[in-house]
Amino acid sequence: MLSTSTQLPDIRTDFPASVLHLQNATWQRQGKLWSTLKELCDLLRIHTTSALADEEFLFQHVQFKTGQRIHTIGQPFETLYIVHSGFLKTVAIDEFGNEQVLSFPMKGDLFGVDGIHSRRYSSEAVALSNCDLVLLPFKKFTALGRAHAELEHAMYSVMSRELVREQAMVSMLGGLSAEARVARFLVSLSERFAEMGYSSKIFNLRMTRHEIGSYLGLTLETVSRTLSAFNEIGFITVDQRSITIRDLDALTTLRRLPPSTLRAKQARKARAAAQAAAAADVPPSSESSSTA
Amino acid sequence: MLSTSTQLPDIRTDFPASVLHLQNATWQRQGKLWSTLKELCDLLRIHTTSALADEEFLFQHVQFKTGQRIHTIGQPFETLYIVHSGFLKTVAIDEFGNEQVLSFPMKGDLFGVDGIHSRRYSSEAVALSNCDLVLLPFKKFTALGRAHAELEHAMYSVMSRELVREQAMVSMLGGLSAEARVARFLVSLSERFAEMGYSSKIFNLRMTRHEIGSYLGLTLETVSRTLSAFNEIGFITVDQRSITIRDLDALTTLRRLPPSTLRAKQARKARAAAQAAAAADVPPSSESSSTA
DNA sequence: CGGGTCTTTGATTAGGTTCAATAAGAGTGG
DNA sequence: CCACTCTTATTGAACCTAATCAAAGACCCG
């Protein structure tokens, strides 16, 4: 339902390089072809001043069909990607072929950032639906930062946001039960859909149980069972890929099942110790006595 | 409780609050006080050209004692930190007080990056030993990037590196057994110590079992037991905080115990599907036919 | 319609957590 | 300097969550 606009008839594009197949004139019917800087910033949810409106440069779009690989691990890095429409997954593959889903980029998300450091992508990105992506060559990216100081900050900000997201992921994997993970996953999907202007209550999963499991550090069976359980309790209604959120609050509230005693104790201690040691430290701007 | 000599009423510098207590004269004996840009780059393992040698600006150092908090969650962000010496931990605390260790920064590591996005730190950093940190005010950071194009790239690179590290963390938490996690942890510590010029074979852990467990998504008991087990087998010798690596190779090789069939199958499938769909896609620079 | 993929559900097992008790250090104050 | 306390570490036993193994039903696409 979400990807209707991306539906493209029988256009055969078997061009090798992602950039190359753009040359084909027939592609131009589907999807957007160019975006202005302003449009790009809006997409990325960056607050811009009017100063950028005059920027002439246009950013090229590329279309990918379901299942196509946008980039692979080890491939030389030269561009970042921003999702204009569609759904993808990024996957890490360790030294012996074990896949791990790292994220599910969708509208407004940036990916490819992991390639900057080593000049090669360290993950692979695959389209889960037909996708329309904006190309953001890294050269352009840095040049823009230099040209517009406010943009530079925005770029660091976007990268920082990614980092925070990853940290949240680590927290989740490290501390939450299977149920809590699946619940959070559903909630965040719901929020994401809302942001994009779709229904936050009724939506279709674009990924398989297996992919969800990989993302959450669970097996596909556990994911399936947990969804069924939520269905039983009435938190959601689930039928294959279609999800209806029935009790968002319950899902949001669902915390670790295996919790409390030790964790709470430790938390208290740690704070006390830190405070004692840091006797004369930075006055915490907030949260000074939240250990009640 | 904060009533000690924290308040230095009249010293109004433009230094961040955390530096204030440094004004205390007794502190000035220990540690370096200022670093040049060149020194900073070396510390961060950034390859620089000579062009930077003339940069006059000096970066201030700050010392923290064991247990002191460098920054807390929610505190307004204004500076990044680079570890010159010492050991720290960064911790996330979720909505109900559960702590999760995110990293153990040590010499050459950058932290505080998570504050850029929301302009507030989203994690807290605590010194695990006496530390000497270089302050890198974010303003300076961006200004430097604008002044030296090569530095700008380096900065994106450092942030990208952090992101890759987090991704590796997610992979580990998502896919590895307790034994494998502890093994990898030891190996990476070993490597890290080697980089810093210490012994890679014999070292002391700077963190508690509990902190290791939190970092690895395990309980402190499991960490302790696993170390004991490694000790039994002869992979390491462990006595309290002191570790001796006896069979690095065994530790490095130790992969998931619960592996193979499903994962392998899935991996094959995924690749096949992707390749089929992407029939004529970007020619992978490497790994084109690694699925044998 | 048939083969392949994806999903659901059940039975069983095992890895890791939880609870509990002891020991070993580290710091403190009399 | 030693007793006392607090934190940290080790180890055991019972329990439980989630993984594994297995099988059948649902969906999709050619």
Model confidence over B43-59: pLDDT tens digits? 999 887 766 666 778 99
Residues B198 and B67 in one domain: no
Report yes or no on B40 lying in a domain: yes
Judge if the beta carbon of B229 is closer than 7 A to nucleic acid strand D: no
Q: Is B8 on the interface with A (CB under 8 A)?
A: no
Boundaries of domain holding B261: 176-277
Instruction: Answer yes or no: is B259 CB < 7 A from strand C.
Output: no
Q: What is the pLDDT of residue A238?
A: 97
Put simply, the answer to whether A171 touches B92 (Cβ < 8 Å) is: yes
CB of A214 nearer than 7 A to strand D: no
Percentage of chain A beyond pLDDT 90 is 65
pLDDT at B290: 37
Report yes or no on B17 lying in a domain.
yes
Chain A nearest-CA residue for B68: A278
Q: Are residues A193 and A168 in the same domain?
A: no
Residues B20 and B143 in one domain: yes
B258 touches chain A (CB under 8 A): no
pLDDT tens digit string along B253-276? Answer: 987 543 333 333 333 444 444 444
Nucleotides of D under 7 A from a protein CB: 7-13, 17-22, 26-27
**What pLDDT does residue B41 have?**
92
For the cut 70, the answer to whether the pLDDT of residue B277 exceeds it is no
Within a domain: A111: yes
pLDDT grade for B145, boundaries at 50, 70 and 90? confident
Q: B210 and B249 share a domain?
A: yes
Q: Which residues of A touch B217 (CB under 8 A)?
A: 173-175
From CA A191, how far away is CA A285, in angstroms rounded?
29
Verify that B181 and B147 share a domain, yes or no: no
pLDDT of the residue at A31: 65
Type of residue found at B148? H
Residue A97 banded pLDDT, cuts 50, 70, 90: confident
Q: What share of chain A is helix, strand, coil (3-state, %, to 5)?
A: 45, 20, 35
The SS3 call for residue A152 is helix
- The C-alpha torsion from B182 through B184 and B189 to B192, rounded to 10°, is -170
A182 touches strand C (CB under 7 A): no
Whole-angstrom distance, CA of residue B201 vs CA of residue B183: 14
Task: Check residue B96 and give its pLDDT.
Answer: 73
Q: Is residue B198 part of a domain?
A: yes
Q: Closest CB to B210: pick one of A15, A157, A266.
A: A266
Per-residue pLDDT at B98: 85
- Quote the mean pLDDT of chain A: 81
Read off the DSSP letter of residue B241. Answer: T
pLDDT at A269 over 60: no
pLDDT for B57: 86
Confidence band, pLDDT 50/70/90 cuts, at residue A221: very high
CATH number at residue A266: 1.10.10.10
Task: Give yes or no: residues B73 and B190 share one domain.
Answer: no
Give yes or no for CB of B122 within 7 Å of strand D: no
pLDDT tens, B24-44? 433 444 567 999 999 999 999
* A224 Cβ contacts chain C strand, under 7 Å: yes
Q: Does the CB of B220 fall within 7 Å of any strand D atom?
A: yes
d(CA B31, CA B33): 6
Residue B267, domain member (yes or no): yes
Is there a contact between A144 and A37 (Cβ–Cβ < 8 Å)? yes
Domain count, chain B: 2
Q: According to the model, what pLDDT value does residue B281 have?
A: 46
The answer on pLDDT for B117 being more than 70 is yes
CB spacing of A164 vs B280 below 8 angstroms: no
What value does the mean pLDDT of chain B take? 81
Angle at B96 between CA B92 and CA B98, to 5 degrees: 45
What is the distance in angstroms measured between the alpha-carbon CA of A259 and the sugar C1' of C19?
13
Whether residues B166 and B231 share a domain: the answer is no
In a domain, A292, yes or no: no
pLDDT tens for residues A49-68?
Answer: 766 666 788 999 999 999 99
Minimal Cβ distance to B284: which of A75, A146, A216: A75
Over the stretch A115-166, which tens digit does the pLDDT of each residue have? Answer: 999 999 999 999 999 999 999 999 999 988 888 888 889 999 999 999 999 9
Which residue among A173, A192, A217 closes a domain? A173
Identify whether residues B26 and B103 lie together within a single domain.
yes
Could you give the CA distance from residue A137 to residue A263 in angstroms, rounded to a whole number? 46
Tell me the torsion sign for CA atoms A268, A269, A270, A274. Answer: positive
φ and ψ of B6, to 5 deg: -55, -50
pLDDT by residue (tens digit) across A29-47?
A: 456 799 999 999 999 988 8
pLDDT digits (tens, 9 = 90+) for B187-235: 999 999 999 999 999 999 999 999 999 999 999 999 999 999 999 999 9
Domain boundary among A139, A157, A173: A173
Q: Do B80 and B169 have their domain in common?
A: yes
Per-residue pLDDT reduced to its tens digit, B152-197 = 899 999 999 999 999 999 999 999 999 999 999 999 999 999 999 9
Instruction: Return the H-helix or E-strand segment holding B242.
Output: strand B242-245
pLDDT value at B112 more than 80: yes
* CA A172, chain centre distance (Å): 15
Which residues from chain B sit within 8 angstroms of residue A278, using beta carbons? 67-69
Ranges A13-17, A208-212, B7-11: which has the least confidence: B7-11
More reliable by pLDDT, A202 or A51: A202
Q: Is residue B228 part of a domain?
A: yes
Alpha-carbon separation of residue A267 from A126, A264, A280, B121 (angstroms) = 40, 5, 21, 19
Say whether pLDDT at B143 is over 60. Answer: yes
User: How would residue B120 be classed by pLDDT, with cut points 50, 70 and 90?
Assistant: very high
Residue B7, classed as helix, strand or coil, is coil
Residue B68 sits in a domain whose CATH number is: 2.60.120.10
The interface residues of chain A toward chain B in range 82-111, judged by CB-CB distance below 8 A, are: 92-94, 96-100, 102
- Say what the pLDDT of residue B97 is: 81
Say whether both B158 and B201 belong to one domain. Answer: no
Task: State whether A174 and B170 contact (CB < 8 Å).
Answer: no
Positions 17-56 in A, CB within 7 angstroms of strand C: none
H helix intervals, A134-177: 138-147, 149-175
In this structure, are residues A215 and A173 in contact, taking their beta carbons and an 8 Å threshold? Answer: no
CA of B267 to C1' of C3 (A): 20
Residue bearing the bigger pLDDT, B287 or B89: B89
Question: Who contacts B1 (Cβ-Cβ below 8 Å, separation ≥6)?
Answer: A275, A279
Which residues, other chains included, contact A237 with Cβ-Cβ below 8 Å and sequence gap of 6+? Answer: A231, A243, A244, A246
Residue B288 lies in a domain: no
Closest nucleotide over all strands to A207 (CA to C1'): C6
- Judge if B196 and B233 occupy the same domain: yes
Residues A114 and A133 in one domain: yes
Is the C-beta of residue A255 closer than 7 Å to nucleic acid chain C?
A: no
* B292 close to A (CB below 8 A): no
**B122 contacts in chain A (CB < 8 Å):** 164, 167
A93 forms beta bridges with A99
Chain A nearest-CA distance from B163, in A, is 6
| Residue finishing a domain among B158, B173, B188 | B173
Which residues 146-205 of chain A have a CB within 8 Å of chain B? 146, 149, 152-153, 155-164, 166-171, 173-175
**Distance of B43 CA from D26 C1′ (whole Å):** 58
pLDDT at A191: 97
